[in-house]
């Protein structure tokens, strides 16, 4: 239990220290935010900080910090290290930068932000990449809950019926003003997600369960021998660092009323997600008596993590836990799916400069997106979804490199930009290594994947350093001098 409590304290301390440094480097000021400058009553909507925080938490979380943490716990308590340091040094930085860069660019979608600082080619790639990724997320997070709802209701209400209901809800959440559905429901479900995590933590701590200590199990405990590098760092995305967050943060960047809220909303929500992931990782290895027991339990239910969540909640909290588990595994993915489609609408609108103040123009984008989602929902996503994990971390890598360029341009060069460039280098190594070693990708041996990933990451860092600090040094100095005047 000691290692769990130490990890928990580190996450909290990391928020109160490293996030302050990040805020200082970013040069937070008292400029008016997009929500204040031109509220449109639809997407640019001033909201209270606590409400934006809970919406952001549910936007980025869903079931990610639960399912991902349980998958990562199959490697043992060593996953605590990735959750803690990944959150503080990577995920928090990534989410803060993606949200605040968007805020500085008038609430622009992440594809437009990346394009401005990384070039036209990257702009086009990011636009396509973001829309495809978001539609896949939205579609996948409709079929899963539909199947679960069908299993809990009379046979006449089958999965197709619930899929139609969910897609109709997605349509409403995609084009209606953000305060009508998302602004009202998300805080409630966000609180439920937090209560569920706290209840599980209390059940493990006070229920007499033995939490394995990190120093007693500092090894790869995966029974199938899957390598920790880079498999664990891709499996545990939400709860450490996830590129999907960068597609969600711009929505809240259009709602904050002060730049000082960014630290709480973006970095704070990421730390809260890290805490939730830490709790579920600890619950997985404690409730099932170790990583091997957890792996065996997942295998017994054909890797149905929803069933594992139900077993843990019911076992620790009884009927109340069972209700919370059902709310979690049904509502949480739905609340990720609707904002995925909403983000896709905003990305396309920014891409083609389509005004979204009128309902007809919003429907013009929302209806085709949901139609594509309905068609894709009939396909088998088992293989396609495997690539999401890799593409998710690749997106995080791109956003962090963009953040490094942004900080260097407007912050305190050169050391400040390393706060983004170092985790960007790390995620480059993770993403490239995974692509070379994963079964759904090239499936090469670790003797090839490891050195290729590391060398490529070092090369990326060298290119970043050369282009940022050498090639553009004079241009940036002139620009900073002009700003000072």
What was the pLDDT predicted at 52?
96
CA–CA distance, 13 with 464 (Å, rounded to integer):
30
Confidence class of residue 144 from pLDDT cuts 50, 70 and 90?
Answer: confident
CA–CA distance, 8 with 201 (Å, rounded to integer):
11
Contact assessment for residue 259 and residue 103, using Cβ atoms and an 8 Å cutoff: yes
Average pLDDT of span 297-313: 89
Instruction: For the chain, state the CA radius of gyration.
Output: 22
Average pLDDT of span 403-411: 87
pLDDT at 471 over 70: no
pLDDT at 380 over 80: no
- State the virtual CA torsion across 112, 90, 260, 134 in degrees, nearest 10: 40
Q: What is the pLDDT of residues 156-169, one digit of tens each?
A: 899 899 999 999 99
Confidence class of residue 435 from pLDDT cuts 50, 70 and 90?
Answer: very high
- Provide the token pair at 70: 């349980």
pLDDT at 386 over 70: no
In this structure, what are the phi and psi dihedrals at residue 41, rounded to the nearest 5 degrees?
75, 5
How many residues belong to the chain? 485
More confident position, 270 or 217: 270
What was the pLDDT predicted at 420?
96
Contact assessment for residue 247 and residue 110, using Cβ atoms and an 8 Å cutoff: yes
pLDDT at 416 over 90: no
Which runs of consecutive H residues, i.e. helices, occur in 243-304? Answer: 244-253, 262, 269-287, 291-300
The set of residues, in sequence order, having a beta carbon less than 8 Å from that of 189 and lying 6+ positions away, is 58, 327, 331, 332, 335
Contact assessment for residue 35 and residue 257, using Cβ atoms and an 8 Å cutoff: yes
CATH code of the domain made up of 2-388 = 1.20.1740.10
pLDDT at 271 over 70: yes
pTM: 0.93
Average pLDDT of the chain is: 90
CA–CA distance, 210 with 328 (Å, rounded to integer):
25
Average pLDDT of span 69-82: 95
Task: Name the residue ranges covered by the structural domains of the chain.
Answer: 2-388
Q: What is the pLDDT of residues 211-265, one digit of tens each?
A: 999 888 888 998 888 899 999 999 999 899 999 999 999 999 999 999 999 999 9
CA–CA distance, 42 with 29 (Å, rounded to integer):
26
In this structure, what are the phi and psi dihedrals at residue 222, rounded to the nearest 5 degrees?
-65, 125
What was the pLDDT predicted at 482?
56
Most confidently modeled range among 81-85, 208-212, 478-482 = 81-85
């Amino acid at each position: 239990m000691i290692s769990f409590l130490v990890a928990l304290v580190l996450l909290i301390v990391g928020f109160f220290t490293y996030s302050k440094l990040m805020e200082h480097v970013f040069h937070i000021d008292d400029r008016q935010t997009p929500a204040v400058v031109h509220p449109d009553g639809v997407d640019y909507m001033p909201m209270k900080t606590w409400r934006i925080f809970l919406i952001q938490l549910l936007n980025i979380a869903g079931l990610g910090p639960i399912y991902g943490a349980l998958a990562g716990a199959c490697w043992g308590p060593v996953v605590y290290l990735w959750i803690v340091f990944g959150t503080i040094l990577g995920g928090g930085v990534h989410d803060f930068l993606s949200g605040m860069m968007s805020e500085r660019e008038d609430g622009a979608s992440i594809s437009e932000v990346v394009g401005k600082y990384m070039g036209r080619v990257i702009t086009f790639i990011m636009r396509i990449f973001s829309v495809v990724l978001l539609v896949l997320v939205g579609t996948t997070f409709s079929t899963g809950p539909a199947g679960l709802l069908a299993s809990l209701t009379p046979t006449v209400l089958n999965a197709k019926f619930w899929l139609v209901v969910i897609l109709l809800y997605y349509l409403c959440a995609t084009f209606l003003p953000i305060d009508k559905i998302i602004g009202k429901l998300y805080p409630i479900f966000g609180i439920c997600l937090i209560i569920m995590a706290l209840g599980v933590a209390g059940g493990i701590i006070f229920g007499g369960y033995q939490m394995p200590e990190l120093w007693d199990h500092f090894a790869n405990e995966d029974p199938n021998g899957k390598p920790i590098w880079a498999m664990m760092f891709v499996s545990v995305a939400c709860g450490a660092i996830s590129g999907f967050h960068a597609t969600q943060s711009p929505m809240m960047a259009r709602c904050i009323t002060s730049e000082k809220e960014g630290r709480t909303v973006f970095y704070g929500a990421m730390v809260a997600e890290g805490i939730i992931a830490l709790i579920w990782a600890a619950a997985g290895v404690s409730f099932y008596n170790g990583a091997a027991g957890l792996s065996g339990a997942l295998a017994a239910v054909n890797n149905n993590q929803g069933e594992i969540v139900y077993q843990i909640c019911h076992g620790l909290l009884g009927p109340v836990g069972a209700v919370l588990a059902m709310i979690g595994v049904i509502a949480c993915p739905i609340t990720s799916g609707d904002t995925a489609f909403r983000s896709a609408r905003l990305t396309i609108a920014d891409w083609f400069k389509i005004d979204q103040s009128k309902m007809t123009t919003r429907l013009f984008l929302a209806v085709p997106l949901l139609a594509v989602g309905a068609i894709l929902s009939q396909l088998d996503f088992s293989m396609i979804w495997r690539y999401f994990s890799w593409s998710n971390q690749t997106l995080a890598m791109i956003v962090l490199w963009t953040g490094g360029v942004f900080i260097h341009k407007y912050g305190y060069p050169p050391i400040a930009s390393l706060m983004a460039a170092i985790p960007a280098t790390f995620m480059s190594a993770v993403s490239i290594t995974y692509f070379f070693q994963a079964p759904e990708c090239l499936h090469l041996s670790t003797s090839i994947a490891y050195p290729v990933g590391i060398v490529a990451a070092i090369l990326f860092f060298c290119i970043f350093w050369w282009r940022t600090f050498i090639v553009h040094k004079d241009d940036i100095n002139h620009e900073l001098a002009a700003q000072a005047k």
